[in-house]
Each structure stands twice: as structure tokens, then as C-alpha cells.
Amino acid sequence: MCDIWKDNKNLKQLTEADVTGLMRSLKKLGTQQVLMSGGEALLNKNFFRLCEILKRQNISISLLSTGLTLKHHTDELLRWVDDIIVSIDGDEPLHDAIRNIPGAFAKLREGVQYLKSRNPDYKITGRSVIHRINFRNWENIIMAAKEMGLDQVSFLPADVSSEAFNRQTAWAEPKQHEILLAEDELPELQQIIARIIPTIDRGERFIAESDTKLRDIHAYYAAFYNINPFPFKKCNAPWVSAVVEADGSVRPCFFHDTIGNIHDDELADILNSDTAIGFRKTLNMGGNPTCVKCVCSLNLHPRTNLN
């Protein structure tokens, strides 16, 4: 789960000057796509100005959003953002409870449906983290996502062990177990997945994950109890992408340590520094503890056209 949104008021923000400075490197690196996330990226008063700068280089822009202000920003979103991924935590009552925002689900739904009314072909997908609080609600999440009008929904397990996503430290055990399924809950999770899989119409591609990937969510949680290994995954994120955080820190992916800061060096220089090259050369994804427990891998062919 992401903790960024819980601290939206205190987060630093990338400025117009930051993004303008990044453009040299983005052009040099042949960047095709930028994913803007937050907390809530739309809270950045310069958000659409940043999009405008990126668009000058024909860079595709995706937005990861809580969806609370989609309707308010519809005109700008349709102009500057190519697609939106919204977070959905449950059906209406559970989503609001997890977000601790009354009416959060209704605002999300209203925004999605209003955008779709303006442009039915505009791509809006959902992302749902399945964990101890909402796994019994999984089938309702699928139904809610369909009724809302999302084009697709994706599911992943909760990251309970890293310092990614605005955590000052990795979660201690009591916090982990608020989210990590208990061992005696695993059979129920397995049963839910077994119910969901036969109902999926693979032709419509509404659920992004394959049957194997859905079963891997159970396997991921089971691995914490040494029932099975953590699921194998293919990932080349450090070779085809990078993460630039609001304070300028650069990471090879969301989960690994910082390798530099854009306020000190050009992004292209950071990614091609001895430190970064050495990291990529020596990274053993099958043995690195961070990679083994990763919940959000990326396996992108370098020649893939994202535009």
C-alpha cells in the first residue's frame, strides 16, 4: 500500500524548473512515457504546466490518481494526460473507510463517469491492492470497477516490507500485520481467487492479470509463512525506467535505494554513473531480497513503443 496520500500536505513537489531541467536528459534518453504520481499529483498547482513541458517533446503522460478531483480537472486532463490509473480499495463503504474520506468513492465514480461522458474512448483503468482489510471484498471491487465504467482493473498484493511510497522506515511487525493476511486467512483468499478466475471473460480483458498472476497474490502472502517461495517475476525496471521523487531523489525503481538527485546532477549522468551501472551489473533479481519480495515488477521490451 502507498502511504504518500496520507501526507499530501507536507510533501515536497517538483517545480517547473525541475521539469525544465529534466527535459535535457529525457530527450537524450529517448523517453517515451512519464507516469505522474503523488500522493495526489493533481494537488501540485503546477501539474498541468509540467504536463505541457513534457508534451513539447511528445512524451506520453499517464496519471496515477485517487480520483477525488477528476471532474474538477476534466478539461485539462483531456488535453494534457493520455490515460489515468485510479486507485480503488473496495466497494463504496470499504473504499471510504480505508481512505478515511467520506464520499471518496462517490467522487471517484463521478469523475470517471464524467470524463467518459466527455470522451468515451479516454482510457481510465483501476489499480487495487489486495490485503487483509479488503480481500474478502475482492469480488465487489470487480463489480464496482465495472459499474463505474473503468476500462480495466489490475490487482497486486500489498508491499509490507520496503520503505517505498513515502515510508520513513519499513513497517514494523504490528503495522505489517494490519495489512498482511494471517496464515489462517490464506485458505479463504485461495477460495476467493478460485471463485473469481472462472468468471473472467478473457476476451474483454477487463482484469489485467492472468490466472497465474492472480494466484501469485495468494503465493506472495503464503511466502511470508514459508509455505512456498515468493512468486518468480521477470523485471527490467532499472534498465528501462527510473523514478524521480518530489525531492529530486532518483531511484532505479520504486523499491531500491536512491542513486542520486537531479538537484546535484543531470538525470542522464545519474543513470549512467559508475554507481548506477555497477548496481545494474551486479543486481541478481533472483537473490536480491528487495526484488524477491517486490509487488510491482516491470518487464518492458526496450523497443516497445509506448506512444
Q: 47-82: per-residue pLDDT in tens? A: 999 999 999 999 999 999 999 999 999 999 999 999
In the sheet with 83-87, reading across from the earlier edge strand, the strands are: 33-36, 60-65, 83-87, 123-130, 152-157
For residue 46, the SS3 value is: coil
- Residue 29 DSSP code: T
CA distance 252 to 258: 7
The phi, psi pair for 127, rounded to 5°, reads -130, 130
Alpha carbon 260 to its chain centroid, in Å, reads 22
Of the candidate ranges 124-138, 139-153, 188-202, 293-307, the one whose mean pLDDT is the lowest: 293-307
DSSP state of 229: P
- Closest by CA position to 27, among listed 299, 267, 273, 274: 267
> CB atoms < 10 A from the CB of 306, how many?
12
Q: Which amino acid is at 127?
A: R
For 33-47, 89-103, 201-215, which range has the lowest pLDDT when averaged over its residues? 33-47
The burial class, CB within 10 Å (0-12 / 13-18 / 19+), for 100 is exposed
pLDDT in the model for residue 201: 94
Beta bridge partners of 152: 125
Q: Chain-centre distance of CA 58, in angstroms?
A: 23
Q: For 276-300, write each residue's pLDDT tens digit.
A: 999 999 999 999 999 999 999 998 8
pLDDT surpassing 80 at residue 127:
yes
d(CA 223, CA 229): 5
Considering the domain delimited by 4-231, tell me its CATH architecture: Alpha-Beta Barrel (3.20)
Can the peptide bond before residue 39 be classed as cis, meaning omega within 30 degrees of 0? yes
Percent share of the chain, pLDDT over 90: 82
Residue 232: pLDDT over 80: yes
| pTM, rounded to two decimals | 0.90
Q: Is the Cα torsion angle 155, 10, 51, 17 positive or negative in sign?
A: negative
Q: How far is it, in rounded angstroms, from Cα 67 to Cα 38?
A: 12
Block residue for cell numbers 483503468: 125
How do the domains of the chain map onto residue ranges? 4-231
The answer to whether 39 and 7 are in contact (CB under 8 A) is: yes
Is the model's pLDDT at 38 over the cut of 80? no
- Reference 255, options 178, 166, 188; nearest CA is 166
The rounded radius of gyration (Å) of the Cα atoms in the chain is 19
Closest Cα partner for 26 from 273, 267, 293? 267
Model pLDDT for residues 154-181, shown as the tens digit of each residue: 999 999 985 544 444 454 565 677 899 9
pLDDT at 87 over 60: yes
CB count within 10 Å of CB 81 equals 23
